[in-house]
C-alpha cells in the first residue's frame, strides 16, 4: 500500500541492488491488512513472493531528497512487481504518476497496480486461481503450483532426453489421469518418440473381477524402449500389474516415469526411474488427476478436503 519507506530501510543495503534473497514470510510485518491478505492468496497458490524487496530511485537530480518507489511485492516466478492500492482517488493519482515515472526509468521492470478486486483476475491470467467457486471450496490447499509442475516436467524431459539418446522411446500412458503430464512431458523430450495409451479396470469396478486391461496398446512393445508414464503411484498395485503385462511382451527396455510418488502408501515395490515429486499421503486432484471425474482441468495439483471426499457425487476411481 501507500508506503513511504524510511531512509534507514533504504540505506539498509537493499537499494536497487537487483533481486534480494527470498524473504521469510513468517517474519514479514505488513504495512496494511490487504497486503497480508494478498500474501495469503499467493501462499495458497504456492506462488513465491517477496515483500518490498527493492526500492527504485525516481528522481535524483538537483534535489537532496531522492524520491523512491518501493513496490509492495515481487513475484520471482512471474518476474512481476505488484503495487496494491486502495480506492482513495488522491493516492491513486499520485501512485499512477510514480508508476509512469518508474516505467520510463526502468522499462525492463514488469509492474502492475492492483485493486483489491483485481487479485483473482490477475491470478487467473497467470494460470492460477479458481476455475469456479464450487471447485475451490473443495480444495484444502495447493500442493504444487503450475510453474512448479512445469519446471519439474522440463527437468524430467531433459533427463530422459539425455538418457535415451540414440534410442527411440515409446511412452506408454495409462488413461485418463496421465493426460496433462503426458502432453507436457513428451514436448520436453527432444528426441523422436512415439506414444501410446492403455486403460485398466479398477478396484471400484470389482463387478468385473480382477484388474484387467480394458484398452490395450495400439502397437506391439516387443523390442521397444518402453517408458511407462504415470500420473501417480500410490499402492503400486496398478503399476505392478501393468509392468508385468508389458514385460511379458519382451520390450528392449522398460522404465517408469511418474509425476507423483505417494511412497508412504506403497504396498508393492515397483522400480521408479524418474520421479517428479514425492508427496504426502493425501488425496490430490488437478493436472489430470480427478475425484469422481472432476478437477482434471485445474492447472495445479491441490489437496482435496477430506470432507469433500466423504461425499462423492459420482463414483470415484476412474483414472
Q: CB under 5 to 8 A by kind: which of Mg ion, ligand IMP, none does 233 bind?
A: ligand IMP
Torsion-angle region of 317 (φ positive above 0: left; ψ -120 to 50: alpha; else: beta):
left
- Residues 136 to 195: which contact Mg ion by CB under 5 A? 177
**DSSP conformation class of 244:** H
Which residue's CB is nearer to Mg ion, number 169 or number 177?
A: 177
User: Is there binding between residue 288 and Mg ion (CB under 5 A)?
Assistant: no
User: Is the Cβ–Cβ distance between 31 and 98 less than 8 Å?
Assistant: no
User: Is the Cβ–Cβ distance between 273 and 164 less than 8 Å?
Assistant: no
User: What track of x and - describes contact with Mg ion for positions 232 through 251 (by CB under 5 A)?
Assistant: --------------------
User: Is there binding between residue 319 and Mg ion (CB under 5 A)?
Assistant: yes
User: Is the Cβ–Cβ distance between 132 and 157 less than 8 Å?
Assistant: no
Q: Hey, what long-range contacts does 211-218 have (CB within 8 A, 24 or more apart)? A: 211/237, 211/238, 211/241, 213/245, 215/175, 217/172
**Catalytic (active site) residue 108:** no
Contacts with Mg ion by CB under 5 A: the residue count is: 3
Q: How far apart are CA 211 and CA 202, in angstroms?
A: 6
Interacting residues with ligand IMP (CB under 6 A): 177, 231-239, 283-285, 289, 319
Residue 139 phi, psi (nearest 5): -95, 135
User: Is there binding between residue 53 and Mg ion (CB under 5 A)?
Assistant: no
The least distance separating Mg ion from the CB of residue 312, rounded to whole angstroms, comes to: 12
Which residue's CB is nearer to ligand IMP, number 75 or number 272?
A: 272
The least distance separating ligand IMP from the CB of residue 243, rounded to whole angstroms, comes to: 11
Tell me which of 72, 184, 231, 234 is the catalytic residue.
Answer: 234
Q: CB under 5 to 8 A by kind: which of ligand IMP, Mg ion, none does 235 bind?
A: ligand IMP
Q: For residue 140, give the C-alpha cell.
A: 484444502
* Residues marked as catalytic: 234
Interacting residues with Mg ion (CB under 5 A): 177, 290, 319
Amino acid at each position: 500500500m501507500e508506503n513511504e519507506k524510511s531512509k534507514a530501510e533504504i540505506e539498509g543495503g537493499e537499494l536497487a541492488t537487483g533481486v534480494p534473497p527470498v524473504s521469510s514470510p513468517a517474519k514479514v510485518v505488513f504495512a496494511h491488512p490487504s497486503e497480508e491478505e494478498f500474501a495469503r492468496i499467493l501462499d495458497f497458490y504456492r506462488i513465491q513472493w517477496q515483500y518490498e524487496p527493492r526500492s527504485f530511485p525516481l528522481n535524483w537530480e538537483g534535489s537532496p531528497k531522492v524520491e523512491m518507489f518501493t513496490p509492495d511485492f515481487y513475484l520471482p516466478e512471474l518476474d512481476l512487481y505488484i503495487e496494491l492500492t486502495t480506492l482513495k482517488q488522491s493516492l491513486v493519482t499520485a501512485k499512477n504518476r510514480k508508476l509512469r515515472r518508474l516505467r520510463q526509468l526502468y522499462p525492463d521492470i514488469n509492474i502492475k497496480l492492483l485493486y483489491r478486486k483485481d487479485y483473482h483476475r490477475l491470478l487467473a491470467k497467470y494460470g492460477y486461481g479458481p476455475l469456479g467457486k464450487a471447485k475451490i471450496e473443495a480444495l484444502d490447499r495447493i500442493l504444487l503450483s503450475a510453474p512448479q509442475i512445469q519446471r519439474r516436467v522440463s527437468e524430467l524431459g531433459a533427463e530422459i532426453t539425455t538418457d535415451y539418446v540414440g534410442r527411440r522411446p515409446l511412452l506408454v500412458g495409462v488413461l485418463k489421469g496421465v493426460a496433462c503430464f503426458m502432453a507436457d512431458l513428451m514436448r520436453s523430450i527432444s528426441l523422436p518418440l512415439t506414444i501410446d495409451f492403455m486403460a485398466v479396470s479398477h478396484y471400484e469396478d470389482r463387478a468385473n473381477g480382477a484388474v484387467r486391461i480394458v484398452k490395450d496398446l495400439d502397437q506391439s512393445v516387443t523390442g521397444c524402449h518402453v517408458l511407462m508414464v504415470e500420473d501417480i503411484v500410490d499402492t503400486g498395485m496398478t503399476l505392478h500389474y501393468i509392468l508385468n503385462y508389458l514385460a511379458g511382451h519382451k520390450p528392449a527396455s522398460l522404465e517408469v516415469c511418474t509425476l507423483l510418488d505417494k511412497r508412504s502408501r506403497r504396498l508393492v515395490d515397483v522400480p521408479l526411474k524418474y520421479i517428479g515429486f514425492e508427496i504426502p499421503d493425501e488425496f490430490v486432484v488437478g493436472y489430470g488427476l480427478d475425484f469422481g471425474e472432476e478437477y482434471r482441468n485445474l492447472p495445479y495439483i491441490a489437496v482435496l478436503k477430506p470432507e469433500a471426499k466423504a461425499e462423492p457425487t459420482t463414483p470415484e476411481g476412474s483414472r
